[in-house]
Structure 1
Amino acid sequence: MSEVDNAHRAVGPGMYEVWFLTLTDRSSGVGYWIRSTYHSPPRGRGTAGVWFARFDPADPETTFGIHRTSSDWSLDPGVFDVRVAGTVMSSGRAEGSVQGGGHEARWNLFWPTGPPTHRLLPSFMYRGAIAPTKPFSPNVDTRFYGSISVDGRTGDVADAPGQQGHLFGTRHAERWAWAHCGDFLDEDSVVHALTAQGRRGPIRTPFLTSIGIRWGDRWIRLVKVSPRREFSLGMWRVDLENRRYRLTGRIEAPSVSMLRARYEDPDGRPRFCHNSEIASCRLALFERRRGGFEEVALLESRGTTHAEWAGTTPASAVTREFAEVGA
């Protein structure tokens, strides 16, 4: 079902849609974030965008992002073939280039597809209009191959861990934190996590936290609803459980490793996303045994977690932002 869940879905007015991938280059530790986006306003013609970001753990000064808005786009309902300003994102393939802010980037990437889609939210939230945004991970645990060129320097990409996601809806959450990691020290696991607060009219909802853990050959789902926010810029403290498992720990990134991106709802209302593709985490997984919970895995990553923290206001501590390039 993975490629079915990548198909274009925002076919009416007042909707937005995003296809994106995140990956870590094993040889350099550099993280990448590539997005294709589409906005259909309540009235008027839609617009599309191409986003590229590079995160350098060795030299934060070389971290940068480019967002190009374009009226040149092609989307077909029910098909995963997204073409924006000469770039392509389709089944197992992303190719294109963008320039702005004094930088130029080109990419030609491939990844295997086929395993079932991972859904970040509980199943009932994908029915009707319960969730204003529906996130999917059609390729939640994959490896990337190909090449990426930045400012004339080309590097090969081989067996780079990452994921490819797709989401669509009518508006973003009010605030959220998101994280993904499939490259832990000494553990063959994947963690995909989301915590978000929505809005219903003038009322803000509680925070819903939903985390999926692939441990061995099984997926573990943990869900929690809380009135309290458990994250701040660059830090997310994780602590939730079900009858059999418990996950505790933290996901973190210093502000110097982040880029700020401005998102907009179809009606123009902004959100500010502070993203790092070189974040870290330390998470302990417990299983209930006779006598109580017993630790069964330590999921630790150093610079290979992809994470973001977002809300309705920009964080002044994050000084780097995407260079905006018009159509």
Structure 2
Amino acid sequence: MAVAPRFASFGPRGGYESFFLRAVDPDRPRAVWLRHTVHRAPGHVPALGAIWITLFDADAPAPVTHKVTLPAPEALPDGVRIGDSRFGPGAVRGGDEAAAWDLEWDGAAAPLRHLPTELLYRTALPRTKLEALAPRAAFRGTVTVGDTTMRLHGWPGTVGHNWGTEHAERWIWLHAVALDGAPGAWLDLALGRVRVGRATTPWIADGALELDGRRLRLGGPAARPRVAETATALDLRLRGGALRLRLTVHAPPSQTVVWRYADPGAREHHVAHCSVAALEAVVAPRDGGAVLLRTRHGAAYERGMAEATHGLPVQPHGDP
């Protein structure tokens, strides 16, 4: 799916925009998380572009990370160019002195818009917008960071896009593929708590589950998620939409990285991310029996938080 970037039209409040992908080895706990982000602070200041890469491998002591920040990101008709790297429909290619990436993908699922109505993508609120350009895709190619190279041959994953003027006060993003006994299934779910003045809203959830070729919406305005979360674990109960969902996630602390994300203003979030997490979900559609879904390492678990009390080491790279 080709998408025109939005950062060229950021107003005086500034903004951020990311194109990202995540791909996981279906046979063993290895994964790639690659993100191209444009960030512009408030006022009429030039935008900066950043490329973030994390390589996960449970056989290694810790994930391998790389980040480079460059001036003058370029908005393309169908993507973004940062330095020598272009992120566009079906491919991302680039490199620098410490890393190189050359990935292609084929999308096997139609795009997913997380917000419940198209109008919300055109209004100022919510201040963060999210969509999955390919909620399930097959990746091929290579990514190298330092002495570590990963070669992808049909790895399943996702391609996503988000933008806005402010991050949510707290958020959780889940993506799951490589589910036991359901090779074509996928889950893509976002939860957020939004700051309104001095108050913070309850959790709001939106996303979808595709199972046996049928897409089921998750969450929505009437849903009331019950969330128990840490930087490396989640227990979620969700009603609403087409089904009821009970879900647990466990991310190995040694395979969880913490990055610093900046709002266009002065605030900062710590973001814990693991792309080789274990997930177990019981799904009960309204018109059918309960289904158990499980993956030992095919889930991505991301938790964004304003506090820094998670106890995990923080990557030395700032944002932007």
Fold in common (TM above 0.5): yes
| Cα-Cα RMSD | 2.3
- Contact in 2 for aligned 1:67/1:323 (Cα 8 Å): no
Q: Does 1:9 align with 2:6?
A: yes
Residues 69-97 of structure 1 deviation map (CA, whole Å, 9 limit, x = unaligned): 11142114xx2231112211111101122
1:46 aligned partner = 47
- Contact in 1 for aligned 2:228/2:235 (Cα 8 Å): yes
- Contact in 1 for aligned 2:248/2:279 (Cα 8 Å): yes
Q: TM-score, normalised by structure 2?
A: 0.90
Query: More relative contact order in 1 or in 2 (CA 8 Å, sep 6+)?
Result: 1
Query: In the aligned structure 2, how far is the partner of 1:251 from the partner of 1:186?
Result: 18
1:190 aligned partner = 186
Residues 139-182 of structure 1 deviation map (CA, whole Å, 9 limit, x = unaligned): 11101011222334544311101000001111000001111012
- Contact in 1 for aligned 2:230/2:310 (Cα 8 Å): no
- Contact in 2 for aligned 1:133/1:168 (Cα 8 Å): yes
1:277 aligned partner = 275
Query: In the aligned structure 1, how far is the partner of 2:40 from the partner of 2:202?
Result: 28
- Contact in 2 for aligned 1:49/1:70 (Cα 8 Å): yes
1:268 aligned partner = 266
> For 1:131-280, what aligned pairs fall within 5 Å after superposition?
131-187=126-182, 188-223=184-219, 225-226=223-224, 229-242=227-240, 244-280=242-278
Query: In the aligned structure 1, how far is the partner of 2:210 from the partner of 2:238?
Result: 16
Q: CA deviation at 1:231?
A: 2.0
| More deviation, 34-43/224-233 | 224-233
1:86 aligned partner = 84
Q: Does 1:311 align with 2:305?
A: yes
- Contact in 2 for aligned 1:50/1:98 (Cα 8 Å): no
1:288 aligned partner = 286
% identical equivalent positions: 24
- Contact in 1 for aligned 2:173/2:302 (Cα 8 Å): yes
Query: In the aligned structure 2, how far is the partner of 1:307 from the partner of 1:15?
Result: 24
2:315 aligned partner = 322
Any idea what SS the aligned residue of 2:254 has? helix
- Contact in 2 for aligned 1:255/1:317 (Cα 8 Å): no
Residues 191-211 of structure 1 deviation map (CA, whole Å, 9 limit, x = unaligned): 111111001222211210223
> For 1:52-131, what aligned pairs fall within 5 Å after superposition?
52-59=53-60, 61-76=61-76, 79-98=77-96, 104-113=98-107, 115-123=109-117, 125-131=120-126
2:293 aligned partner = 299
Structure 2, unpaired ranges of 5+: none
2:130 aligned partner, one-letter code: P
Residues 279-320 of structure 1 deviation map (CA, whole Å, 9 limit, x = unaligned): 11000111335xxx731x21101111111111102244212x
Distance 1:193 1:243, change over 3 A: closer
Q: CA deviation at 1:325?
A: 7.8
Q: TM-score, normalised by structure 1?
A: 0.88
| More deviation, 216-225/47-56 | 216-225
Any idea what SS the aligned residue of 2:126 has? coil
Distance 1:317 1:73, change over 3 A: same
Structure 1, unpaired ranges of 5+: none
Q: CA deviation at 1:243?
A: 6.8
Distance 1:271 1:155, change over 3 A: closer
- Contact in 1 for aligned 2:226/2:238 (Cα 8 Å): no
- Contact in 2 for aligned 1:262/1:272 (Cα 8 Å): yes
Residues 219-239 of structure 1 deviation map (CA, whole Å, 9 limit, x = unaligned): 111215448643222222121
- Contact in 1 for aligned 2:205/2:225 (Cα 8 Å): no
Distance 1:126 1:286, change over 3 A: same
